[in-house]
Amino acid sequence: MKSLWEDGTELPRFGRLEGDLSPDVLVIGGGMAGLLTAYELTRRGADVAVIEAGRVCGGVTRGTTAKITSQHGLIYSRLEEQSGTDAARLYYEANEEALARYRSLAHGADCGFEERDAYVYSLMRRGELEREAETVRRIGGEAEVTDGGELPFPTAGAVRFPHQAQFHPLRFLRTLLPELRIYEDTEAVGISGGAVLTPRGRIRAGGTVIATHFPFPRLRGGYFLKLCQKRSYVSAFEGAPAVRGMYVSAEEGGISLRSAGNLLLVGGGSSRPGKADGGESALPAEFAARYFPSAREVYRWAAQDCMSLDGVPYIGRFSARTPDIFVATGFNKWGMTGSMAAALLLSDLVQGRPNRYEKLFSPSRTVLRPQLVANSVEAAADILTPAVPRCPHLGCALRLNAAERSWDCPCHGSRFGLDGSLLEGPATHGLKSVPTPPVT
Ligand X SMILES: Cc1cc2nc3c(=O)[nH]c(=O)nc-3n(C[C@H](O)[C@H](O)[C@H](O)COP(=O)(O)OP(=O)(O)OC[C@H]3O[C@@H](n4cnc5c(N)ncnc54)[C@H](O)[C@@H]3O)c2cc1C
Q: Is 118 in the site for ligand X (CB under 6 A)?
A: no
Q: CB nearer to ligand X: give 397 or 401.
A: 401
Tell me which residue of 100, 113, 325 sits closest to 204, measured CA to CA: 325
The CB-of-350 to ligand X minimum distance in angstroms stands at 17
Task: List residues bridging with 118 in a β-sheet.
Answer: 161, 246
Q: Is 217 in the site for ligand X (CB under 6 A)?
A: no
Footprint of ligand X on 228-267 (CB under 6 A): 232, 234, 267
The CB-of-330 to ligand X minimum distance in angstroms stands at 9
Cβ contacts of 39 within 8 Å, gap of 6 or more: 176, 179, 180, 343
Q: Per the omega criterion (within 30 degrees of 0), is the bond before 438 cis?
A: no
Residue 258, Cβ density class (10 Å: 0-12 exposed, 13-18 middle, ≥19 buried): buried
Q: CB nearer to ligand X: give 14 or 216.
A: 216
Q: CB nearer to ligand X: give 307 or 397.
A: 307
399 three-state secondary structure: strand
Size of site (CB under 6 A) for ligand X? 41
* Element housing 326 (H / E): strand 325-329
Query: Which residue from 33, 94, 180, 283 is in contact with ligand X, where contact means CB under 6 A?
Result: 33
The CA distances from residue 160 to 71, 129, 391, in Å, are 9, 10, 42
**190-192/157-166 β-pairing:** unpaired
The CB-of-335 to ligand X minimum distance in angstroms stands at 2
Footprint of ligand X on 306-365 (CB under 6 A): 331, 333-339
Query: Which residue from 23, 34, 157, 389 is in contact with ligand X, where contact means CB under 6 A?
Result: 34
Q: CB nearer to ligand X: give 385 or 421.
A: 421
Sequence letter at residue 37: T
Q: Is 67 in the site for ligand X (CB under 6 A)?
A: yes
Q: CB nearer to ligand X: give 258 or 365.
A: 258
Stretch that binds ligand X, among 22-30, 86-94, 146-154, 201-209 (CB under 6 A): 22-30
Query: Which residue from 37, 212, 308, 375 is in contact with ligand X, where contact means CB under 6 A?
Result: 212
Q: CB nearer to ligand X: give 83 or 164.
A: 164
Stretch that binds ligand X, among 52-60, 139-147, 349-357, 370-378 (CB under 6 A): 52-60
Instruction: Phi first, then psi: give them for residue 327, nearest 5 degrees.
Output: -145, 150
Stretch that binds ligand X, among 53-61, 109-117, 156-164, 410-418 (CB under 6 A): 53-61
Tell me which residue of 232, 230, 235, 231 sits closest to 286, measured CA to CA: 235
Q: 430's torsion region: left (phi>0), alpha (psi -120 to 50) or beta?
A: beta
Q: CB nearer to ligand X: give 342 or 397.
A: 342
The CA distances from residue 136 to 90, 144, 342, in Å, are 11, 9, 22
Interface residues with ligand X (CB under 6 A) are 28-34, 51-54, 58-61, 63-67, 187-188, 211-213, 216, 232, 234, 267, 303-305, 331, 333-339, 425
